[in-house]
Structure 1
Amino acid sequence: MNEYGGGRQLNIARLWSGGLATAVVAGLVILVGALVVRGILGIPVLAPEEAGYFGDAGTGVYAVLAALAALAATGLLHLLLISAPRPRTFFGWIVGLGTTVAVVSPFAQVASVPSQIATALINLVAGIAIATLLNSVAAGALARRARRPADTSDARDDENPRGTGYHSGYRDALNGYPTRHYGGRHRSYDPNAQTRIDWN
């Protein structure tokens, strides 16, 4: 674990395991999006129309690129968490702008308008998935440091200040038998105690 501001520690293993899971999700978003758009809507996206429901090798390459983008975003998040102030805010802005570029870029390619819109929507869903999942991963990877137990060696009762030689009964009982011992000298129980005054 690495130290992080605000009394927290960064769990690197949890961060990168979440990053790997996010990469898998990003790749599946591309594949599922291609299946829905090509198989249900009949729009040729990420591959020629005759390539089938899942497209061709280009669709697989696109899914791998999405997974690599998620891993790169995890590395960026790690760097920001250990070095930047307000790292999750900066991360949100960077990933948001990167998602915007991915959404706009299909409209610069030569393709039909429905294909451009479908590709832009797939990229948008992938970008949102990466941003939201990694933001949750960052929150889970930042664990609070365990506080040291308070030193109670100087603790004392208000009624019995330190230095008087007296301890309260409940505190004595916690450590064993109470230190105050009853000597049995009480007028009502001592047969030799004078209980009345003889005036004769």
Structure 2
Amino acid sequence: MQKTEERWHLAIAGTNEAIWDWDISTNQTFRSELWFTMLGYEPNEISNSDDEWSIRIHPDDYTRVMAAQEAYLLQQVSDYNVEYRLRCKNGSYRWFRSRAKAIWNQQGNPVRLVGSIADINDVSDALKYAFAGNQRGEIQVKFYQASESTLTLIIRDNGIGLPENFDSKKAKMLGITLVQGLVKQLRGKLEINSQQGTEFKIIFTNSRA
């Protein structure tokens, strides 16, 4: 048992995802320290009741999340992988992705659900801002040689565009950070157009020219 506990703690320490373990019969849930940190809490500020998780789910996500959990525990689907928002201590909501595996007894009843939760807020912010209200949209990538010595990479979506006061140099969203890193790596020039959706145009020199 002690070796099992040691392996468990090593697994927790070696991942950027928080670990949780729900004992369904008692409705008590073990949560790793990172779980509390992600939501801005100290471990002693939240009880071990599993309800501490469910009461923090965003109202718009609650029904969908609980339905996904029930379907998995009833073995109607083979996978539990769901994205949703949780309310943090400061009252704000962040996006998370939760994955889990259940343990069933001989009668086929679920007794434990063990999983992880990852903060995906930066990725979700970029997509959910571009396509607000779950509207459908497209993301296009185009790469071409503009001249003998110049190459152009265009990444474009048909979403709602960026705010009028948007400053790419101060933005911390993952998508913007990746674009800025690519521009730096290619030693290129970045142009942003947000009149119809958002367009990132990276112009850089063809080193083979």
TM-score, normalized by length of structure 2? 0.19
Higher share in strand: 2
TM-score, normalized by length of structure 1? 0.20
Larger radius of gyration: 1
